[in-house]
Structure formats: C-alpha cells, structure tokens
Structure 1
Amino acid sequence: MSSAYCCPNCKTNRSRFNIVEQHPRIVKLDAGTGEIIQEYNLENKEPFHLSYRGPNVRIQCGVCGLLEDEEIFSKYATYQRKENP
C-alpha cells in the first residue's frame, strides 16, 4: 500500500480514499433462518468449506464512492502518470 492512487471512475481524486480491511469469518448458517449455527477457525473448518481467497484490503474513493481492489486504483494512477507526464 505504498503506491499512488487515482480513481478510475471520477478520474480526478488522487488523495481522498477509504481503506477497507477485510476480516472474513468462517461460519455455518441455518438454511431456513440464516442464523449462525457454528463459527469455525482455520484449524477446525469442515473439509468442503473453502478458505477466503479475496483481497485483504479494498479501496473506496472518498469522492465518488467507487469500491474496488487496491490494484485498480494503483494501476490507474500509473496509467495517468504515463498519459500526463
């Protein structure tokens, strides 16, 4: 997270962002009510339950609200620097 960002949606914001840290919970829900039946940790999850594979951090533009992976904002900033030296 040490690179410059630029919002690919509003194309002007380079300084106002929300950093959203994701902390997944491994749970088993009741199919009818949606109630949590059991909560697991990495050591005791069921064999057919896949681990979370998404990003740990997402970025939200503080101007237009676009919420995307960090890489999107970082790559757009690099692209903008090449286009407008």
Structure 2
Amino acid sequence: MTAPYRCPNCKTNKSRFNLIQQIPQSVKLDPQTGNVVEEYSQEQLSPFHRGYQGPKYRVQCGVCGLIEDEKTYIKFGEKA
C-alpha cells in the first residue's frame, strides 16, 4: 500500500477502500461429510497439497463494492 489507488469500476473513488487480508488455512476434508480431517501448517504440507500462492491482500472499493487484486487498483491509480 505505497501507491495511489483508483477504482477500475466506478473510476472516481481514490480514497475509500476496504483492505481484505487473506489468511490461508490448509486443510484436508472428509469427502462424504465435509468435516475437517486434518489441518496443515505451511511448513508441513503433504506431498499432494499445494500451498496458497495468491495475493496477500484483496481490495474492495468503498463506493461501488468491487473486489479485485491490489495490483488492479494500483494500475488504475497510475493512470490519473
């Protein structure tokens, strides 16, 4: 968050945003019930479980409600 943002949807909002911190939780679910069978730490994932590689933050426009990756808001902030 060291760059100006601008909403790519409403194109006017440059100041009101909700930052959504994404905290991944790696789990193994029972296929029949959906209950959590096992919970993994990022350091102890099983060989068949890929760790989360998505963005750390998502951003929601405080005016129109659009939720996008932070990079999208930064790119639009550079244009104006």
Please confirm whether the aligned pair reaches a TM-score higher than 0.5, indicating the same fold: yes
Q: 1:50-61 residue pairs with structure 2 within 5 A?
A: 50-61=50-61
Structure 2 residue matching 1:77: 3-state secondary structure: helix
Q: Shift in Å at residue 44 of structure 1?
A: 2.0
Long gaps (5+) in structure 1: none
RMSD: 0.8
Compute the TM-score of the two structures, normalised by the length of structure 2. Answer: 0.95
Bigger CA radius of gyration: 1
Long gaps (5+) in structure 2: none
Sequence identity of aligned pairs in percent? 52
Post-superposition, which runs of at least 4 consecutive aligned residues in structure 1 deviate over 3 A?
none
Structure 2 residue matching 1:54: 3-state secondary structure: coil
Compute the TM-score of the two structures, normalised by the length of structure 1. Answer: 0.90
Q: Report how many residues are paired.
A: 80
Note the alpha carbon deviations across 1:43-77, whole angstroms, 9 max, x for none. Answer: 22110100101000110000111000101001001
* Distance (whole Å) between structure 1 residues aligned to residue 34 and residue 67 of structure 2: 26
